[in-house]
A and B are shown apart, each in its own frame.
Chain A
């Protein structure tokens, strides 16, 4: 894959035979063994590997759950209880899968914020970044449909609220929204029919996701990894071979992450869920608060920030439409970051002003998450509106303007220079360049 040529040498006759017909071992070796990685990567770079493991874990636990699950109005809730109570280690599978979805999002959000801080979205990594946004959208769709499957009260009312959003299109063309909503539902209300199609899609999308992840990694291996300095790789001593260097670090990161994962799955499996989802779906009883899973809360807060007015601007009949458009744009906008940011310096380490805005943006997202979990009333609405504005201003004002007015601090000449100038007595260059001679 990409700019790095393989130095794979088959060690057996069979290996040589295969290499001449399907050089898959060569591909693996050049992509994951002697692929050059920047030597200064920190633990934030282990999240790509962690995400791959999360995806595989969701597929494995999901396929086994699907063997015991029944996607029907009458059967769904009971089949989940059957899994929890009667299937051997079913409780474990279920906890791993539902906690796994949360861990997947935790990892992906860290991965994305890493990209924002170190400018990983900038040229030449635009396509890689856009593929990432597509992955996030697919994950959201998958998780949303997955959450309907247990067919509890929160499942049922969550789908009802979210699918109903499309009816906002009625304000553009009467009947359009309603038609779309009924098409999504497969009827005039959310029912077992809806559940059944969501299950089909929930089974399908992870494999589409796997395909897009393949493209993401391909694009990565064409342009190479970014690194904490944001500098391009300029000389061989800037890099180390992926194996054993990056792989050793990745496995530490992965196992540390699995400790957190296991803690949630075994000790607080229901902490991230909602008690109402242990009540079977009932179209006649609306729960007092309908809240989505935690990973959707910031976007939910943006959606609900558009009440009859937004920061004093009256919205009238378009309020709902504005909310829906804002929510979707909040995700889509991320894809435009490469062109919105006008600074040529990648890493926020060398961007004295942008750095502060980065932390404030992180705070904005957390604040929106908190607000999304609160009832939409009083001061919470006003705060949601302020932070929604902050969210969009980060992309539409901060990114373009700060890049133009900011004077970046002095950049190191190369990754090697930066690493060697770090405190303590640097080892002689000969020793540090050792990996190439091994």
Chain B
């Protein structure tokens, strides 16, 4: 019986090793590199100055095509975000190029008005069809959730996988989306000679399928930073991705702060309960 068992076990191991080598082969495709973020890990928090720069990049570059409809102007003032002064944001809203459709007014007509603090940060298009019509049929997605709505997967053999998962859980790794968008913004290049690029598309190693309808949005010097940060694509990308990560998860700072209080409370209580339990069971063998 035992022999039989080891035989089954052996064949299982053989099958699983075969599977492992298969997934290693698949790993041929582009691996997304992990970046260092101020907000990564279980202690990470957003860097206010970086979020402010990131918003500047969004406003001056991305807003030409992408909306941010789940973020309201007032959110830019709130703690845990870029924390711009309220007056500056009021001014910003009043001069925002994309107006809010409101109404009907007393004459029963809809009208356009500048946004208020409580209004969402609208993109240039009123609906998806308008967006597609002006973007060659491609749809620039709203960016408010994009950092959560994308991910980057690591390929690994089945016997490595559990350890990578455990490592990610213990390190509180949640930046798959951020790393992907950073790669997307920085990995534009000329298509390899044997690659057939569709007209009006751009070669990008990070994008699934490698051809994207978005023209490379960033180049060195397009945004003039006020705080002395170098005006490079690398800095722009890090900053705008940090901003988008905040937009997708505005409670991150508070979440981790409360998280530590909860975890510490639970650890101490578990310890005390354990001591109590030991004492109660002291005279009873079990």
Interface of A with B (CB < 8 Å)? 39-41, 81, 84-85, 91-92, 95, 240, 244-245, 248-249, 251-252, 255-256, 258-259, 262-271, 274-276, 278-279, 288, 353, 356-357, 360, 363, 367, 370, 374, 378-380, 382-383, 386, 390, 405, 419-420, 422, 426-427, 431-432, 434-435
Contacts and interface: CB of A to CB of B under 8 A. Distances in A.
B267 A248 contact: no
Given A353-B1, A434-B283, A81 B145 contact: yes
A370 B18 contact: no
A275 B177 CA distance: 8
Contacts of A256: 270
Interface of B: 1-2, 5, 8-9, 12, 15-16, 18-19, 22-23, 42, 70, 75, 145, 148-151, 158, 161, 168-169, 172-174, 176-177, 208, 248, 250-251, 255-256, 258-259, 262-263, 266-267, 269-270, 273-274, 276-277, 280-281, 283-286
A268 B263 CA distance: 13
Given A245-B280, A262-B259, A255 B251 contact: no
Contacts of B263: 259, 262-263, 266
A258 B131 CA distance: 47
A427 B266 contact: no
A259 B273 CA distance: 14
B273 A248 contact: yes
Given A84-B251, A245-B280, A386-B12, 15 more contacts: A81-B70, A85-B251, A252-B277, A258-B266, A262-B263, A267-B172, A271-B174, A275-B151, A279-B149, A288-B208, A360-B5, A360-B8, A379-B18, A380-B19, A431-B283
Contacts of A255: 266, 269-270, 273
A405 B148 contact: no
A420 B285 contact: yes
A405 B15 CA distance: 29
B255 A266 contact: yes
A248 B262 CA distance: 21
B206 to A, nearest CB: 15
A383 B16 contact: yes
The residue in A245, A256, A262, A360 that gathers the most chain B C-beta atoms within 10 A of its C-beta is A262
Nearest to B172: A267
Contacts of B42: 267
A236 to B, nearest CB: 13
Contacts of A370: 158, 161
Contact of B270 (A259, A266, A288, A390): A259
Given A91-B255, A248-B276, A367-B16, A427 B283 contact: yes
A245 B281 contact: yes
Contacts of A249: 277, 281
B26 to A, nearest CB: 9
A300 to B, nearest CB: 17
Contacts of A360: 5, 8-9
B280 A259 contact: no
A252 B259 contact: no
B285 A275 contact: no
A426 B277 CA distance: 20
A249 B278 CA distance: 9
A396 B12 CA distance: 19
Contact of A434 (B256, B262, B267, B284): B284
Contacts of B161: 370
A61 B172 CA distance: 23
Nearest to A259: B266
B142 to A, nearest CB: 9
A260 to B, nearest CB: 9
A77 B248 CA distance: 14
